[in-house]
Amino acid sequence: MEEVLTLDGIILRPQALPVRPDWAKIFGRQAPLLLEIGIGNGEFLVWLAQNNPEANCVGVEIDRDYLEKARNRVRAANLANVRLIPMEGSKALSRLFAPDSLSALYLNFPDPWHKKRHQERRLVNEAFAWLLASRLKIGGQFLMVTDYEPYAQEVVEAFKSCPAYEPLWETPMRTELPGYYQTKYARKWLPLVARFSTSASAKPKASNCPNGWRELIRW
Ligand SMILES: C[S@@+](CC[C@H](N)C(=O)[O-])C[C@H]1O[C@@H](n2cnc3c(N)ncnc32)[C@H](O)[C@@H]1O
């Protein structure tokens, strides 16, 4: 018997999801796919979905309590273009999204893992940059906000070391991103934003990776 995909219409059950599911079928429409990993209480994802009604928005979160808070927020906002998945972020990116399928990935305040012995737990590293390069569509974007500069620097280095990307701006750090939603962490801490985008012209066919690492913004 086919497993039930969702019990509440919003949270998808990972065990019922096939590898690289048909997102158009899940959402009931073909639309650009936006992903946020580590959605916390869901405030950014709700803002994203409200401001991009033409997009299908997926939120991935490892913590059940946060996921339920986010689900309640999505429900209260009466949004049909959001689905949530309880799953580890890099696993979700690898397993659930086909090459050239994502229009954007957003990371807002990913856990910084300050202690040296814990740093390998950080979500973004070189391998992640490569994986994302394959999953993003040409012209797709990666945007990360953090208040922890060493992590931001590490992310820039990870994207620089992946030949699939090239810089858009001369200075990789910027201090402003007007119009971008500020989550509770952004309201509390001075955030740094790393933003990368892929360019239409330079995607190398051989590696199937989009070209263009873009912006690191600080404000
Ligand atoms: C510091 S909080 C930021 C929450 C939210 N993005 C915001 O800005 O308000 C980090 C969030 O990422 C989630 N998280 C951490 N590592 C994760 C991973 N590998 N995959 C998915 N979620 C993760 C945590 O459970 C937590 O909700």
End-to-end CA distance of the chain: 52
Sequence-distant (6+) residues with CB within 8 A of 92 are 37, 60, 85
What confidence tens digit (pLDDT) does each residue in 90-111 have?
A: 999 999 999 999 998 999 989 9
Angle at alpha carbon of residue 50, lines to 49 and 55, rounded to 5°: 40
- Ligand 1 pocket check: which of 39, 57, 95 to mutate, most ligand atoms within 8 Å of Cβ? 39
Residue stretches of the chain with pLDDT short of 50: 1, 197-219
**Which of 92, 95, 101 is closest to 24 using CA atoms?**
101
Domain coordinates in residue numbering, the chain: 14-218
Q: What is the topology classification, in CATH, of domain 14-218? A: Rossmann fold (3.40.50)
Q: Give the binding-site residues of ligand 1, using a 6 Å CB cut-off.
A: 37-40, 60-63, 66, 88-89, 108-111, 123, 183-185
100 is catalytic: no
* Structure confidence at residue 212 (pLDDT): 34
What confidence tens digit (pLDDT) does each residue in 40-50 have?
A: 999 999 999 99
* Structure confidence at residue 148 (pLDDT): 82
Return the SS3 of 6. strand
Distance 25 CA to ligand 1 centre (A): 27
User: One of 22, 65, 100, 111 is an active-site residue; which one?
Assistant: 111
* Structure confidence at residue 170 (pLDDT): 61
